[in-house]
Structure 1
Amino acid sequence: MTGLESLYPFLYDEADDGAALLDDVRRSTEAKAAEIAGLRAALAERHGDGLVRCARAMAPRLRAGARLFCFGNGGSGTDAQQVAGLFAGPPRPLPAISLPHDVAALTALSNDVGFEQACARRLAALAVRGDIAVGLSTSGGSGNLLRAFEEAARLGLLTVGFAGYDGGPMARAGTVEHLFVVPSSSVHRIQEAQTTLYHVLWELTHRALDGAL
């Protein structure tokens, strides 16, 4: 057995009518759905108060004209774009920028200076005291995010981080004021739960801006 047959033997087993495979897929899907539902429910107790504190810290800065700078790598980079899109959209559009999605700047800085400095250099060029930095990572150990948080702290930005596992180096660096850790070893579950966290933070921030929090 070679090629795809060795990787996915169940697809090439003529004796299997597919029923067993479908049953396995169903059980796996149900288990994953139950896992993320339980994880998301646990986050309310784990991070509820912290999300309120973070929203209350962000609101006066945003009211005063602060900009939100978001960053992450890979799938977390896509999440950074989602966070920026949430805050830049209705009902109250706010200035929010996703650093990884300026491809020209990201690749130029990575090539000329080094990838670990790419987000930090963008913050150094664009951010001012009072702005907000939001970084997302599943491991909490991305070197370029750690450097970005160092630069954000140096500039006097409010720093907000999302991480998985035990928070990794992000939790130990001392540069992230509001850190939300998803206690899971599954990258998929971490990113799914982080989506819930930053949507709740967005909603709470708008409530704080309205004076309702």
Structure 2
Amino acid sequence: MTGDSSLGGLDRLYPFLAAGAAVDAAAGGHDAAVLADAAWSAGTKAAEIAELRDQVAARYAEPLAACAEAVAGRLADGGRLFTFGNGGSSTDAQDLATAFLHPRYGRPLPALALTTDVAVVTALSNDVGFEVVFARQLAALGRPGDVAVGLSTSGGSANLAAAFEEAGRGGMLTVGLAGHQGGRLAELAAAGLLDHLFVVPSSSVHRIQEAQTTIYHVLWEAVQHVLAVRAGPPGRRLAQGP
């Protein structure tokens, strides 16, 4: 282990903390310096994501509403939602599927994250190739009227592009979340091969993922709102029967 032993391994994980601590330790301000640096870092990051979310809201308020209408229409007609992504985006894909399948309120909707079946993921990756790990699942499980939602911080993931191409051929509604300039997903959208794309304009993976979390939770809430409006007030729903 390197660095100040009083910090343990923190100097390798957070170099800015170690640098500040080394300067102030001699003056007896070690703890104060660490706390001050941590507070500055947290405040800066919070301000960055707040500004980024404002940019995303200004850019995508109307497109998100249109996307929610389209997704709600598919799900109301019996469609299902499939989500996918790599790494941290895989976790977000699972969170999104859970939000639809087991909502805090509103109507439970059929949703599946394509990253949760380890046997399927590893079999496809080992026997065929990681670039088809989502496309093959959509080919097997998807049907016209379903919805495919893929998340990527770069937008350049080859397996997401393949999945969207497969979903499009199968008559599914396609929704992409990307970062930076949109990468390969932006190319698909420009070619008319991706129905809805939301690009977070940032070069920070962390800020992109935080903003994407906001986007897909807003999408979920908007879908619930659309379905509730279409169903009408509770009294009317009871009168219509099952």
- Normalization by structure 1: what TM-score? 0.94
The Cα shift of 1:148 comes to: 0.5
Correspondence for 2:144 among 129, 140, 145: 129
The Cα shift of 1:34 comes to: 0.7
The answer as to 2:38 corresponding to 1:25 is yes
What are the ranges of 5 or more consecutive residues in structure 2 without an aligned counterpart? 5-10, 231-242
- What is residue 187 of structure 1 aligned with on the other side? 205
The answer as to 2:222 corresponding to 1:204 is yes
The answer as to 2:170 corresponding to 1:152 is no
The Cα shift of 1:10 comes to: 4.0
Cα separation, 1, equivalents of 2:100 and 2:39: 36
Q: Decide whether the 8 Å contact of 1:10 with 1:21 is kept in 2.
A: no
- Deviation digits for residues 96-125 of structure 1, max 9, x if unmatched? 000011111000000000000110000000
- Deviation digits for residues 163-189 of structure 1, max 9, x if unmatched? 000111101123211001100000000
Q: Decide whether the 8 Å contact of 2:81 with 2:111 is kept in 1.
A: yes
- Deviation digits for residues 127-184 of structure 1, max 9, x if unmatched? 0011000000000001111110110111110000000001111011232110011000
The Cα shift of 1:211 comes to: 2.4
**1:20-99 counterparts in 2 under 5 A?**
20-90=33-103, 91-99=106-114
Cα separation, 2, equivalents of 1:190 and 1:60: 28
- What is residue 235 of structure 2 aligned with on the other side? none
Cα separation, 2, equivalents of 1:117 and 1:184: 28
Larger radius of gyration: 2
Q: Quick one: which amino acid aligns to residue 228 of structure 2?
A: D
The Cα shift of 1:12 comes to: 7.3
What RMSD in Å do the two structures reach over aligned CA positions? 1.7
Q: Decide whether the 8 Å contact of 2:21 with 2:30 is kept in 1.
A: no
The answer as to 2:177 corresponding to 1:178 is no
The Cα shift of 1:17 comes to: 2.2
Secondary structure of the corresponding residue to residue 115 of structure 2: helix
Secondary structure of the corresponding residue to residue 44 of structure 1: helix
Cα separation, 1, equivalents of 2:52 and 2:35: 26
- Normalization by structure 2: what TM-score? 0.83
Secondary structure of the corresponding residue to residue 94 of structure 1: coil
Aligned length: 211
What are the ranges of 5 or more consecutive residues in structure 1 without an aligned counterpart? none
State the identity as a percent: 57
The Cα shift of 1:18 comes to: 2.5
